[in-house]
Amino acid sequence: MEFKVPTMAELMAMGEEPEILFWVGCAGSYDERAQKITRDICKILHHVGIKYAVLGTEESCTGDPAKRAGNEFLFQMQAMTNIEVLNGYNIKKIVTGCPHCFNTIKNEYPGLGGNYDVIHHSQLIQDLINEGKLKAEGGESFKGKKITFHDPCYLGRANDVYEAPRKALEVLDAQLVEMKRCKNNGLCCGAGGAQMFKEPEKGKKDVNIERIEEALELQPQVIASGCPFCMTMLSDGVKLKDKEQEVKVLDIAEITVRANGL
């Protein structure tokens, strides 16, 4: 990367506080595909000059997959440990790169003593566009391209965020097309509720295939999403359907970075 990503520990050593903490999440930290999205979110933050930091090695799993899998103990252990770190750094505002982290920190941490203003990176992008700090110029043109957005369950239905990611696409002057099952009726990619980490139960087909078939029916050039798990499931689906040449699966952050040539 052309710039250094600041950590909380470094900022604190300099006696500084960031405007916003970027919560990267496990997928964003370790998954190769999601790491690219993580770097792109940093590029956006860097580009607009927001003072931000990451926790780096002090970050740990929010406990989301443990909670959805029924292990409340492990979830609360993770949550309380994370809250101790976040409160120790006096964190007020958090942007996450993952709807699952977003949901957990926003909704489930307050009851355990962690109260923060939490947004998903699509909401950050929406705010930056609204403030005029981010446009879609100077980079790759998406003009006229057919794009469909897949709503991540933990961003959409779970938290009613439907407009923010679409705002990031609207500025592209592209052709936005909706799948039949979109917004509050969106179909899951198949990874939620800890499914990401296990084989699916016996059935007729995999959920991501059902979803990718619906997306491909629209013959889009880009399938957009805002979740690293959806990214894995949708990319796998496109690969299995042998459509990698025609269709790109991209995160809202990646699209924003490309459109602005960051």
Q: Least separation, in Å, of the C-beta of 124 and another protein?
A: 18
Mind giving me the DSSP string for 195-219?
GGGSPPPS-SS-HHHHHHHHHHHT-
Q: Strand pairing partners for 7? A: 54
Judged by DSSP in three states, 149 sits in strand
Q: Which CB sits closer to another protein, 156 or 220? A: 156
Report the nearest approach of another protein to the CB of residue 167 (Å): 20
100, containing H or E segment: helix 99-103
Query: Which CB atom, from 140 or from 173, has the smaller least distance to another protein?
Result: 140
Decide if 35 contacts 29 (C-beta within 8 A).
yes
In the numeric block, the tokens 């900022």 are attached to: 11
**Residue nearer to another protein on the CB measure, 91 or 136:** 91
Burial of 250 (0-12, 13-18, 19+ CB in 10 A): buried
Shortest Å distance, C-beta 223 to another protein: 17
Of 131 and 201, which has the nearer Cβ to another protein? 201
To another protein, the closest distance from the beta carbon of 169 in angstroms equals: 22
Residues in the chain, how many? 262
